Chain A
């Protein structure tokens, strides 16, 4: 299946046994170990999709909720991979469904402009500051669309999102950016 060596599985099995008995330190170590495996697994399948980290968290929650269903006499890896695979499939299904229902919309970035070079520098600094406050997915999509000047199709391919999803994330990012810049005193 990849991602977990026999030695790792043995170690994680011992940690899972201790976790079922309520050992918090073992559980912390278990989740730490699993997190790496899940992240790698998710990244391999979803690429750099901005919701990949959500899937990682979802898998960890599912493992927590289902931990009583693992039988210590059975191997740990098949149980773990089944939980992870199921969450991943669910997440992909949900995102596909959202993508299918989202209406493509026009993507128009807010315009930040001024009349002097000094004011331009200040505006750029404010814009950079506002960009830093965006959600990671929004920041990534806007950066790829506007700074790297990629097309929606290219960004979709790069992130693993559907094109309509990219448009929606960008649209929401621009709206958030507008609000942030309005708060900083920009009219437009």
Chain B
């Protein structure tokens, strides 16, 4: 096919399009999806019984603030990267990672203090239930965010998918923070923070090629 033929075909195929809303507007839309999915998760799993008391503690406030920041910044970054030509400054790229890292660092300090009080704090309990819960809570917001990224035209796919995974993992971790009554640092570090680290890593390694495959398949189906 010659380039002249390509141009003619594209002109023939032209349909009016509505420009995508700004990434900030889309981030709020995603926030609304998270709120609905989070409410549904709270109804299914139930909030932790000591939530009112926990909310007054510095540890809980530090955890939720870091997680909210990481989630909001990562989702904003993913949606910004879905638009060609939008530059994500280095500071904006590092901010969600720093927020998530801040939470993990806080947990490590908590663990350090706990071990200082009693060596039993090293004990690792069985917390796969929390991992499952985090993944379940993160699923709908995660899929929604990936669809929103895919609705754009991400140029740096791996980075966009990794940030989307970090944002989704943040929702999962927040959800578990609100539903799991356990407060021992080792449990939080392994079973709450573990998925928050693992999900973006898996997304960066395996998620990006899958996402590209899905984008190509969708394009092929449309054309």
Taking Cβ atoms with an 8 Å cutoff, the residues of A that contact B are 19-22, 24, 27-28, 31-32, 35, 53, 56-57, 60-62, 64-72, 74-75, 78-83, 85-86
Whether the pair A79, B85 counts as a contact (CB closer than 8 A) is yes
Q: Is A69's CB under 8 angstroms from B7's CB?
A: no
Query: Is B11 touching A24 in the complex (CB atoms < 8 A)?
Result: yes
Q: How far is the CA of A20 from the CA of B15 in the complex (A)?
A: 8
How many contacts A-B (CB < 8 Å)?
A: 82
Which residue on B lies nearest to A68, using beta carbons?
B17
Chain B contacts for A67, CB-based, 8 A: 17
Nearest residue in A to B22 (C-beta to C-beta)? A71
Task: Decide if A28 touches B19 in the complex (CB within 8 Å).
Answer: no
Query: Which B residues lie within 8 Å of A74 (CB)?
Result: 85
B155 at interface by CB-CB < 8 Å:
yes
Q: Please give me the residue from chain B that is nearest to A78 by CB atom.
A: B85
State whether B19 touches A70 (Cβ < 8 A): yes
CA distance A20 to B13 in the complex (A): 12
Q: Please state if B20 and A68 are interface contacts (CB–CB under 8 Å).
A: yes
Which B residues touch A70, using CB under 8 A? Answer: 19, 84
11 new A-B contacts at CB < 8 Å, known A19-B14, A24-B14, A64-B10: A22-B14, A28-B7, A60-B7, A66-B152, A66-B153, A69-B19, A78-B87, A79-B83, A79-B84, A83-B155, A86-B155
What are the interface flags for B127-157 relative to A under an 8 Å C-beta threshold, 1 for contact and 0 otherwise? 0000000000000000000000000110100
**Number of residues in B with C-beta < 8 Å to the partner?**
24
Given A71-B22, A74-B85, A81-B85, does the pair A65, B3 have CB atoms closer than 8 Å? no
What's the minimum C-beta distance from A140 to chain B, rounded to whole angstroms?
Answer: 16
Bound complex: CA A78 to CA B85 (Å): 5
Query: 9 shortest A-B CB distances, which residue pairs?
Result: A22-B16, A66-B153, A78-B85, A82-B84, A79-B85, A68-B17, A82-B85, A86-B155, A64-B10
Bound form: Cα–Cα A188–B51 in Å = 87
Chain B binding surface SS class: loop
- Is A69's CB under 8 angstroms from B83's CB? yes
| CB 8 Å contact bits of B174-185 with A (1 = contact, 0 = none) | 000000000000
Closest to A66 in B: B153
Determine the distance from Cα of A32 to Cα of B153 in the docked complex, in whole angstroms: 22
Choice from A27, A61, A72, A81 contacting B19 with Cβ under 8 Å: A72
The answer to whether A31 and B10 touch across the interface, beta carbons within 8 angstroms, is yes
B1: chain A residues within 8 A (beta carbon): 57
Complex-state Cα separation, A80 to B11, whole angstroms = 18
Q: For B155, list chain A residues within 8 Å (CB).
A: 82-83, 85-86
| Contact call B11/A65, Cβ cutoff below 8 A | no
Whether, in the assembled complex, B82 has its beta carbon less than 8 Å from a beta carbon of chain A, the answer is yes
Measured CA separation A81–B1 after assembly (Å): 24
Q: How far is the CA of A39 from the CA of B6 in the complex (A)?
A: 14
How far, in whole Å, are A57 and B4 apart by their CA atoms in the complex? 9
